[in-house]
Structure 1
Amino acid sequence: MGTSNGGEQHTAHEGGPYGALRQLLDGRWTCRRFRPEPVPRETVERLLRLAQRTPSWCNTQPWQVELTEGAGTERFRAALLEHVRTQPPAPDFPFPEQYAGVYRDRRRACGFQLYDALDIARDDREGRWRQTLRNFELFDAPHVALVTTEADLGVYGAVDCGLYLNSFLLAAQSLGLGAAPQAALASYAPFVREHFGLPENRRVVAGVSFGHPDLDHPVNGFRTAREDVPTAVTWHPN
């Protein structure tokens, strides 16, 4: 009975906001190859207006975004790639030292799907490194957004930026754009600050490369799975 009622409720809501949000969430994916043509400024501004509606703690709206287009994207791409080839990572927020258990398994499954799509053998270290560098080539995207916050706002400023990133990704999806959320871009935070002339108290949270997706490229052909709700949620009944 419970399954039947849930199905009826699910169907009843499909035509409204629930259905629209479900379609966006189910359809969103990480684009790792873009077409070169830029997104019209009007479309980018529509995306940004949607993302700006993100909720935040006490409405602090702590995100500050550096957004590139045209020659600005090309300068950043070239300079970042040169920097990455010669300098070690220096993120503002420490990356995990290791992934264990289910987190390791999920991460590996995603990586195997990526490498299989590109015919990169699992023992091909050079091929894997070349694919890693694609992060810093922005996957050929015509635009990138670097999301930052102020150091004084602490971890919750970064959490709010995470909410902003999700809004940004869903807004891009709603406009037919491809997007790639990239912690990799935050791994060279001092370079990002220097390149964009940001003050020292600005912390780099993540980047999003975005544009028109190249749907014919095999790297954009795979989709990652999600765990069922019971693996993430524990009910505490009365």
Structure 2
Amino acid sequence: MPALAIDDDLPDDARALARLVAERHSCRGFLPTPVPRATIDRMLAIAQGSASWCNSQPWEVIVTEGEATDRFREQLYAFAASQNWADQANRPERPDFPFPARYVGIYKDRQRATGWALYEAVGVAYGDREGSGRQMLENFRLFGAPHVMIVTTEEDLGTYGAIDCGGYVAHVLLAAQSLGLATIAQAALAGVADFVRDWFAIPAHRKIVCAISFGFADPAHPANGFRTTRESLGNVVRYVG
């Protein structure tokens, strides 16, 4: 099914929100054009309104600009390549928060369908593990984005601090969309948490949740024509009356 349908009778605010949600996608090909600092500040100011348990606001972010992005990108990619991250079965994941133990059933079906649809969009044939590995490594090039944001939470706040950061990330993505920016939230960088922590001198008590690469989408990049789908409400909602 399409990602979202926008009803004609929605109130104006709901229509605007539904449009932003429907149009947002994970960008995997960026233009090198930097985002003005004032625009980044607007995006982050909107996201700062995200809800959190006891208003703890556990998120802190590091945002790269200019040459700092390029230096990080170069060394991050070299590190990931040296650690065999192109090999899906043997990559040495060391995140601060455990990655999913496994995908089974409908979750595996969704993961597989999304992955191979993406690979098809960028010319990687079904079963081409070398090609899919190369595409995976593009995470560590930040897909060419001029900026990356590292999102961290306080260790003592545990799982719920990370959940609050998830809500914050969603607000960042929608705020960016409202400002004409493209984004991709990336768990891959959380998988090399020690490298990221050392590079940015992040204290040990700050745990890395994810990264968000952002900038302006490259409309000519084939990956940016790819879209995921969403389940119907009947498959994910159960009403009790």
User: Same fold by TM (over 0.5)?
Assistant: yes
Q: Alignment partner of 1:11: what SS?
A: coil
In the TM superposition, what whole-angstrom CA distance separates every residue of 1:133-179 from its partner, at most 9, and x where no partner exists? 00000000000001000110000000000000000000111111110
> Aligned partner of 1:178: which letter?
A
Matched, 1:12 2:9: yes
1:28 aligns with 2:32: no
Q: Which amino acid aligns with 2:40?
A: V
Partner of 1:95: 99
The aligned counterpart of 1:3 is none
Of the three residues 218, 221, 225, the one matched with 1:214 is 218
The residue number in structure 2 matching 1:119 is 123
2:89 corresponds to 1:85: no
How far apart are 1:94 and its partner, in Å? 0.9
Structure (1/2) with the larger helix percentage: 1
Which residue does the alignment assign to 1:198?
202
Cα distance, 1:75 vs. partner? 1.3
Please say which of residues 153-162 and 76-85 is displaced more in the overlay.
76-85
Give distance in 2, aligned partners of 1:195 and 1:118: 31
Helix, strand or coil: the match of 2:237? coil
1:41 pairs with 2:37:
yes
Which region of structure 1 is more displaced relative to structure 2, 181-190 or 82-91? Answer: 82-91
Correspondence for 1:182 among 186, 191, 206: 186
- For 1:210, the aligned partner's letter is F
Partner AA of 1:22 in structure 2? A
SS of residue paired to 2:118: helix
**How far did 1:13 drift?**
2.6
2:88 alignment counterpart? none
Alignment partner, residue 163 of structure 2:
159
SS at match of 1:123: coil
What root-mean-square deviation, in Å, do the aligned CA atoms of Structure 1 and Structure 2 show? 1.2
Please name the residue that 1:172 is paired with.
176
Which residue identity lines up with residue 168 of structure 1 in the other structure?
V
1:63-93, Cα deviation, whole Å (9 max, x unpaired): 0101101011011111111211223321011
Amino acid at match of 2:75: A
How far 1:60 sits from its partner (Å)?
Answer: 0.3
C-alpha distance in structure 2 between counterparts of 1:190 and 1:182, whole Å: 16
**How many correspondences in the alignment?**
228
For 1:74, the equivalent position in structure 2 comes to 70
User: Secondary structure of 2:38's match?
Assistant: helix
Identity over aligned residues, as a percent?
A: 52
Q: Aligned equivalents of 1:12 and 1:106: distance in 2?
A: 31
Q: Distance in 1 between matches of 2:53 and 2:93?
A: 30
The unaligned stretches of length 5 or more in structure 1 are 1-6
